[in-house]
Structure 1
Amino acid sequence: MEAEVLRQKTAAASAHSRQEALQNQLDQLRTALRYPDRRQATAQREALARQKEALRQSLEEARTAFSACQNRHAALEGSMQRLSVLLQSMPAVDAGQESGRKAALETDKQQKTAALRLIQTRLDANTAARRNLDRQARRLAQLEERLQWVAALSDTANGKLAGKEKIMLETYVQMTFFDRIIRRANLRFLVMSGGQYELKRRVGAGSTRGQSGLELDVIDHYNGTERSVRSLSGGESFKASLSLALGLSDEIQSSAGGIRLEAMFVDEGFGSLDEESLQQAIQALARLTEGDRLVGIISHVSELKTRIDKQILVTKDKSGGSRVDILA
């Protein structure tokens, strides 16, 4: 039994010695390792694997580039051989002749350079002129457009529009006042003509080729017709003229801001009137004298002497002079 215990102790001591030896050997091996643990070693191994792959790709690229260079080298070698053959077959170069050609080419180059500068200068000048012409053309187009507008306005103001009545702006304004004068004149003309005639401005022009707008027509209320005022007889024309003169006088007084015509003279025309027309004209003139207005009649008609109270008689003498008598 003791022998067995001794043997076991001896075995344990031997095992302990081997354990210490193994532990020392393990410590030495750990000291010899480049990485302290497995994680760092694995990371390093993966990094080395990536580096290896990059180096492999670089190697493939280098092999491809090397192959391309070899092909290029072979092509250049072939070109060199062909050029060498051509060079051997070329005649000898005369240096003096080539120098002369070079000088001639340099001179030609200088001439062409000078010509190019001249052309460039002309091109710049022409370009500037073209830009100026374009600006002038645009300005001209604007002026032409304005001219068309002004011409249309001028044609309108001067009554020159094609296919329209030839009524100038001045005539158009006159037409407005003329209508007012006619309305006042008709108050007299209806009385003088016994209600037969009435004046009317012609609205429609007979032709678009002539100026229009101030022509007069007369309405005959006896037969319901309308005709030109030129168709009136001498006495009727006198009545119409007198009515217009009176209408103008009335319109001036109405629109002239308080101006009053205190005197009016009628020269001749009474000799063309018959007895009834003469009576109507005198009655119309007599009504004008109301309100301290002076109406003078210049006439040689003897019938007027018995109808007018206040007269100025002018008598011609045989000696060549004249005599004035006032009858009040």
Structure 2
Amino acid sequence: MRETKSATDAAFQAAGARRDEAAAGLETAKGRNALAEAAFDAACLDIARSSDQVAALIATDPALSRALRVRIAEIDRGVNDAGTAVLTRQNDLHRALEGFDETTDAEALAAVVAALATEIGDLQQQIGVLVAALARDDGARRAAANLSAQIETAKAELAIWQAVDDAVGSASGDRFRRFVQGITLDHMVQLANDHLHALTPRYRLAQGAASDLTLHIVDRDMGDEVRGTRSLSGGERFLVSLALALALSGLEGRSSFVDTLFIDEGFGSLDAETLDLAVDALETLQGRGRKVGVITHVAAMIERIAVQVRVEKRGAGRSEIKVSDGSQPIWSA
């Protein structure tokens, strides 16, 4: 009903406006028609009073007469159009008033209007609440997007630290120690294999599992069979130990931390050829600036040592120490 009344009021107002416009046009046309008739009557009176003027009118140019007749016809058409427009507007007004109930209670309409105004106010309030909720939601989405980027960055950092923890992390630090020791041992094995290849090409050292830091022997003459170090003979074990000692002397940090190497016996278990290889390796190490001390009773070994510290028994529990360059004593006590 409210929609019908609103449409009817709007149509009524539009029809009234069109009616007023048509009435104004009609009045204007009537005024112009009255002016034209008065002018025509005055002209006729003047013509009746003056034969000269009648003669002048008769002598008037036909083209001017035609123009006057056309102008009069136009005025007549304007009057007819204005009358038609007035009738049309009146019909529109009647049709608009057909759906309007003149007996409608003004107080009831006022109550309806007030209820509608209240409903509109409630709806506007709800719209305000929804707009505020949307603003909060947009802010939350932006914050969530920033948090997502921070979470991805944190996940990347966590993956790195997780990998570090998996590799070297433990409460007591033993995993990190094993990790570092494993790297050092791997480097030392590479150096030892270089020396071991020169001493005895048959054997090669191999690192065991990273967790136990063990060493094994690879026997190339036996199809690269992996053997335990305890299975080596005395001479073979000495050569492997010598290769490890030479490799240990080659490990360096910021400065060389192994610059002196002492070897106690073991040379008596070597044959002459292998003994020469071992002495050559020690001399090469000495030529690199390392100090090498050998404790031995092997005569062939003593002959190859340039500077010697000899301990000779003198009886009664006494011994004499002599330092010589291999040919003559340098110092004795």
Same fold (TM over 0.5): no
**TM-score bracket, shorter-length normalisation:** 0.3 to 0.5
Q: TM-score, normalised by structure 1?
A: 0.44
